[in-house]
Structure formats: structure tokens, C-alpha cells
Chains A and B, each alone.
Chain A
Amino acid sequence: MAKRIDANDLNVYYGKFLAVEGVNINIEPRSVTAFIGPSGCGKTTFLRTLNRMHEVLPGAHVKGKVLLDGDDIYGPGVDPVTVRSQVGMVFQRPNPFPTMSIKENVLAGFKLNGKRLSKSDADAIVEKSLRGANLWNEVKDRLDKPGSGLSGGQQQRLCIARTIAVEPSVILMDEPCSALDPISTLAVEDLINELKNEYTVVIVTHNMQQAARVSDKTAFFNIAGTGKPGKLIEYAETSTIFNNPVEQATEDYVSGRFG
């Protein structure tokens, strides 16, 4: 299931503005990779290019290649919709669909695409996904209640369940805990640890302790100044980044001297 991602010389533009420059990165399957760096350094922008979600912003486009197990997702004739069904995404703020129940939220990926599921298949997917998101025991008695009635942490795990229900190869997470309290954060971090058994997980975080806790490898992004493009500075094992990084900028950032 899990697939590897390779980005080669990737540039991201907003209109004419170069936002992220020259990223080369190889992300292994069945691993957790964290992107860290100061605000505005382009880590979220880069993350969104991995499933072409940046294209929902007018004028955003990329140059370079992103390979998903060797297939270029920017190749000619590639449909972003197909890419996104294989590379799922969890957002900063939990965003369950307000018009749907918990169950319908989990099945949203199928229902919205008009796929017909038998009741037993649907129930099986709902249970499997919610168990996978460590949410089953908390919501199994109220699957028909609105998803927006859950707590923030539960909503975020519901969004993760919704993402894994369509069985993607890669899960991208954009600061998934920044809107959550510490206890909910812990629950989501535990879940990330389990997810890497089956998926390739890429997570953007502002919280360096979180990166240290959950990730196998860490990529540090930085920006030289406003108006300059963001760049990938260093990419290595998490322990290396935090204990003896090669670059001075990385050392300054992880030791809290700036950013």
C-alpha cells in the first residue's frame, strides 16, 4: 500500500512569485517525515504540492517533478483527482462536513464520488477506519449523530478516519494538532505512530518536540528574508537534525536561537 515520494528540483510559484525553490527530497514508504521551519518558509506550500492541493489557489503552479513510486504526478494527462485519491490530506483545523453524520463523514470519500456500497461493506469500512483512527470506542453508539458535535480532538481523528477510509498510499498532515489541546494532541500523535505501519506519513509541524516525538526523518525549511523563496536546508534522520545537524541554520532553529 504505502508508496515512496521523490521530489526532484521542485519550484513552486504563486503567479510569478517563486515561493519555494529547488526542493530535492526522498521520502521512504512506511515512515513518518516531519517538515519543520519558521512561519512562511514554504513547508505547507510544499506539502500541498505533494497531492496537488495547491492548485485550488488561483495562480499557483510548480516546475519540477514529484514521483509517486516512480510515476510523475505532474506528468501529462494526470488528473489531480486521481492523485488526491492516493495521497490523502488532514488539515490544520478539523473540518468534518457539517451536513453529514459521523458515519457519512467516514464514508464521504465514497459517497461524494457517487460509489454505491452495500450496507455490510459500508459498515465494515466505517468500523475499520474508525478503529484505525482510535475513535471507534468513543463514537460507536452515535454514528448517526452530526460529526460537528464531537470535541476538537475527536473531530480531527474523524478527519483522519475519513482520509484512511479511501485507503490512500500517503497521508499528508498540515499541522494537525495546532488547534487541539494537549490531551487530544497526544491521542493524535499515538495514532500517527500506528499509521506508519501501513502508510507513508508526512507531517508539517511548528512544534519541534512533536517532530522529535513522532517522526523518523525531519526536513528543515528556511527562508532568507521576506520576498525570498523558501528552501529545503537540511533533511536527515530526526535524531541527527536535533542532536548534531550539519547546517548552522538548523542548529540555530532547533536550539531555539531564532524562529
Chain B
Amino acid sequence: MTTVTAPSPLTAGEKGRAGDKFFSGLTFAAGGLILVVLLFVTVFLVVNAYPALIAGADELPSQTSFFEYVWPLVLGTLLAAGLALLMATPVAIGVALFISHVAPRKLAKPVGYVIDLLAAIPSVVYGAWGMLFLAPLLVPIYDWLHRYLGWIPLFNDPSATGRTILTAAIVLAVMILPIITALSREIFVQTPKLHEEAALALGATRWEMIKMSVLPFARPGVVSAIMLGLGRALGETMAVALVLSSGALTWGLLAEGNNTIPAEIAANFPEASGLRYNELIAAGLALFLITLVVNLAARWIVNRHKEFSGAN
């Protein structure tokens, strides 16, 4: 046997430690690099946004102060994402429950698979669909809404092209629907069989079982799925840039107008220079802060509900 060298003093083999040190150092560096990148992103955004934040109204290209420039965009962003979430959430949770607890098993598997695929469709494709297919389709419906509900200010001035904030919100809703569905379904199927069977053994109907065991278990996961969807909708650029015929802030959901931060940046950044460049980056910083708040809120909600989820 030439193979095993068992040196009797246990201190031998010191040289082998170098590999361990090197490798753990390498992984540590990679972890640190991620922090550095994020630090860079923040520092860069702040430094480049700063000139626009302190500039006087007459210096900026829009001839207004930065805050007057950005708040309609913030409102537009929140409006589009909020409407999208309002439409997508109930449907997405319904579909997720359908796949996990209602549909026959033979159907559930392929449907779940298709939903996963749909969640991966690039947003520019949804944008193209919204711009060329959905918007023209919605024009008569908007006219109809205006004719019967026009006394509500929301339904004033229907657009002739259908490229309005409501259309953009619908496209966003369609886009985040598979995302929320895929994540929620994953949580729903993780409900412990024991909890479900406990409810059924008490004579619960299927809905009562879902209400008693599935929903409480899944609540934090579903909340974070919704928040992820909201984050996506807030940061989504292309779908809105393609669909929306942008303009000044307006309450009319059916009218052309409004704009979102990402769409504003995408449309103007390639040709921007000077203070306009800083102004757009400052808008990006505002968007970053909004999504950060949404993310932190999601974490907070998830953590607060953790003890009652039954997950432990």
C-alpha cells in the first residue's frame, strides 16, 4: 500500500490549509462585492441626482423645480401600479387556488407549467400586445363607459386611440398576473397535508378547509408575492412606454395623459444631456426609493405574521 501517508505528528499537512483559506476568502470577496455594487448604485444615483435636486426652477429644462416635475410622475406610477394590482390580485389568487386545490390533478400540472412559462414572457411583448391589440379593442368599451358613466370625473374625455393609463394598468395587470399566481401557488401547495386533513376531518367543506388551513398558512407568502408583483409593476418600463400616450397628470382614466417614472426615463434618457440627465437620474432615485419602501413593507408584513402562519 503506497497510498496513505499517515504522519505521526498531527501537525503535518499544514500546507493543505492554504486551499481552504483561499477558497473561503474568495467566497467572502464575492459576498462583499455584492454589497459594494449596491453601495455603488446608491452613491451613484445620489451623486448624479444631486445637481437636479438643488437646481433652481429656471435652470431646469422643464422650467419648474424638480419636485414639481417629479410628483405627477410619482402619482402616475403609483396610479398605474395600484390599478394593476387591484385587478390582478383577486384573479391571481383565484387561479393559484384553482391550480392547487380545485382543478383535477391531470389539469393542474400542465396549467401550473403554462403559468410558469407566462411569468417568463418579456414585458416588451406584453407592451406590443397592449399597444397594437388591446388599445384599439378597448376604444368602443371606453366610449360606452363614458356615455353611461361620464358623470364620474374618472371617465371623462375617452381617448380615440385607447392608449390611456387604464389600458396601461390592464397590461401591467396581465403581466404581473402569472408572477403572483406562480408564487402564490407554490405557497398554497406547501400547506401541510396534516392541517388540511384536520379541517376536512372536522366535516369542513372544501372552501372552509381552504379558509381554515390554506389561507392562514399562506398569508405571509401571498403578501410577499403581491408585493413582488407591485414592485414589478412600479418598475415596469416597456409595457407602459409602449402603451401609454403620455401627457400631463389627469384623473381621467380613459383620457390620454399621465406618465410613469420608468417610461419617462426610457423615452428621454438616450438623448438627455446636462441637467436633463441629472433630472432623469433623480427621477430614477425617486423610483428606487418607492420600490425600496414597498419591499421593506412586504418584509415587515411577512415578519409580523410569521408566528401565526403555522409554518413553524
A/B contact in complex, CB under 8 angstroms: yes
Residues of A at under 8 Å CB distance from B?
Answer: 68-69, 71-73, 75, 77-79, 81-83, 85-86, 110, 115, 117, 121, 125, 166-167, 169
Nearest B residue to A115, CB-CB? B3
CB proximity to A under 8 Å, residues B25-60? none
> Within the assembled complex, what's the spacing in Å between the Cα atoms of A160 and B6?
19
Nearest B residue to A114, CB-CB? B19
A contact residues around B16 at 8 Å (CB)? 79, 81
> Within the assembled complex, what's the spacing in Å between the Cα atoms of A82 and B20?
14
A contact residues around B7 at 8 Å (CB)? 82
Contact B3 A79 (CB under 8 A): no
Contact A79 B17 (CB under 8 A): yes
> Within the assembled complex, what's the spacing in Å between the Cα atoms of A169 and B7?
12
* Given A79-B16, A79-B17, A81-B16, A110:B3 Cβ within 8 A: yes
Is B203 at the interface (CB under 8 A from chain A)?
A: no
Nearest-neighbour CB distance to chain A for B19, whole angstroms, equals: 9
Nearest-neighbour CB distance to chain A for B5, whole angstroms, equals: 10
* Given A79-B14, A79-B17, A117:B3 Cβ within 8 A: yes
> Within the assembled complex, what's the spacing in Å between the Cα atoms of A82 and B11?
8
> Within the assembled complex, what's the spacing in Å between the Cα atoms of A83 and B11?
9
Contact A75 B3 (CB under 8 A): no
Is B10 at the interface (CB under 8 A from chain A)?
A: yes
Q: Which one, B3, B4, B10, contacts A78 given CB within 8 A? A: B10
Contact B3 A82 (CB under 8 A): no
Contact A86 B6 (CB under 8 A): yes
Nearest-neighbour CB distance to chain B for A245, whole angstroms, equals: 35
Contact B10 A83 (CB under 8 A): yes
CB proximity to A under 8 Å, residues B58-93? none
**Best-surrounded residue of A82, A125, A167 (most CB of chain B within 10 A):** A82
- Encode contact with A along B205-226: 1 for CB under 8 Å, 0 otherwise: 0000000000000000000000
> Within the assembled complex, what's the spacing in Å between the Cα atoms of A71 and B14?
16
A contact residues around B11 at 8 Å (CB)? 75, 77-79, 82
- Top 7 A-B pairs, shortest CB-CB distance: A82-B13, A78-B10, A77-B11, A167-B4, A71-B10, A79-B13, A82-B10
Q: Which one, B3, B8, B13, contacts A71 given CB within 8 A? A: B8
B contact residues around A78 at 8 Å (CB)? 10-11
B contact residues around A117 at 8 Å (CB)? 3
Contact B13 A81 (CB under 8 A): yes
Contact A75 B6 (CB under 8 A): no
Q: Which one, B8, B10, B13, B14, contacts A75 given CB within 8 A? A: B10
Nearest-neighbour CB distance to chain B for A178, whole angstroms, equals: 25
Nearest B residue to A110, CB-CB? B3
> Within the assembled complex, what's the spacing in Å between the Cα atoms of A81 and B4?
14
Is B312 at the interface (CB under 8 A from chain A)?
A: no
> Within the assembled complex, what's the spacing in Å between the Cα atoms of A83 and B14?
12
